[in-house]
Amino acid sequence: MSPRARLVLALLVGLMLGLSLSMASRVAAERSPAPLNPAAPASNALPWKDAQLLAEVMQRVRDNYVDPVDDHLLLQNAIRGMVEGLDDHSTFLSPDEFEDMKVSTSGSYAGIGVEVVAAKGGVSVVGRMAGSPAERAGILNGDVIVSIDGIAVDPADLDTAIARMRGPQGSLLRLAVQREGRASLLEFQVEREHVQLHSVAAELLTPDIGYLRITSFTDSTASELEQAVARLEHSRARGLDGLVIDLRNDPGGVLDAAVQVADDFLDHGTIVSAEGRTPDAQFRIEAKPGDISNGARLVLLVNGGSASASEILAAALHDNHRATLIGRRTYGKGSVQTIMPLGDGQALKITTSRYFTPAGISINGVGIVPDTVLQGTEQPPAAMDTADHVTLAQRDPQVSVALQALSMHTGQVAARVSAAAQ
């Protein structure tokens, strides 16, 4: 073995030994140590041969790969591969990835307040937050951002474009925009501000039935939903008869947010339970008395993009006979991940629990089958708050199905109604 390989091996062994000692002292601080059994297998023995193999592979890659490779990068990739090899949801987060994760869970960041998707020549604005710097600057939905601070936008790298539009509060951003019907590019200078992402939108479908769309579960989702329900009820002389809760394409997010939303509509019953190896990973959460809708009938719209926290909410309301589910089979993510901060701004996102619905079922890999399964080609959820004076139920066939379901006293959707969404 070369001197460098021996050095790498020594570092790896030292790291593994340090981790072992750290874990051992942590266990000792929590419980009394059991007497050692000389006959017991050395379950904590370090895999020396594997560490030696890793050092050898690193040396071969370093010496023979077509391009020079930094040792730090190799070790970072080895760590990432180790964690991501556990399952599809565990990962090692770089500082930038960890910051993005905190934005997605907290629901706030410093930026200009636009939602963008990849488009020809750049990224297209598909949404602006009300009162955002982008809206005040005059950026419109449909505008294509082709450069940021003089650097061309790569449509194939959406994440980088989004990251470049974020930055310190008060800093300036220069955008070049292609607008339909304009031959030349438009130039905008926008000041970044604190932006609060909104995960809940609401409107009335009829004078008696409200509509709530939840796009993700963040730390503020439950309070947003509670305020939205209060606004809908305030616009009427009496309480709502029913609510359509749209979870289509909601990838999930913060577990506690889904639990709180479920509790908002439940007076009693289990919301979710989980099993894991540590005490914190084992829990059962029960609903507390109180229903913000005063017993209004509920229909939830779900599809294959409804995952994780969305499925926790759907199962909690369905299994407690509180809501009817309409749509397509959900994604089927039945595990809970915990974010563990590490040094240098990095973090570990690792699966720590498997959760179960109130009926005691694991949906992992199988999802939730709705009470009414819609057939045919699925259309994306229709835009809300348009100026065309066409109701949301008219623009979105699945919302129409949910509305008809709530209009029936039985809460069941007839076959003829199901066909309307095809």
Catalytic residues: 308, 319, 333
Q: In this structure, are residues 401 and 417 in contact, taking their beta carbons and an 8 Å threshold?
A: yes
Cβ-Cβ contacts under 8 Å for 159 (sequence gap 6 or more): 100
Query: Is residue 254 within 8 Å of residue 237, measured between CB atoms?
Result: no
Report DSSP letters for 242-257, one per residue. EEEEE-TT---B-HHH
- Cα angle value 137/139/145 (rounded, 5°): 120
Cα gap 45→35, rounded to integer Å: 18
Residue written as token pair 């019953």: 269
Q: What are the C-alpha distances in Å from 342 to residues 51, 94, 160?
A: 22, 10, 23
Picking from 310, 283, 299, 297, the residue whose alpha carbon sits closest to that of residue 368 is 310
* Closest by CA position to 306, among listed 214, 420, 378, 382: 214
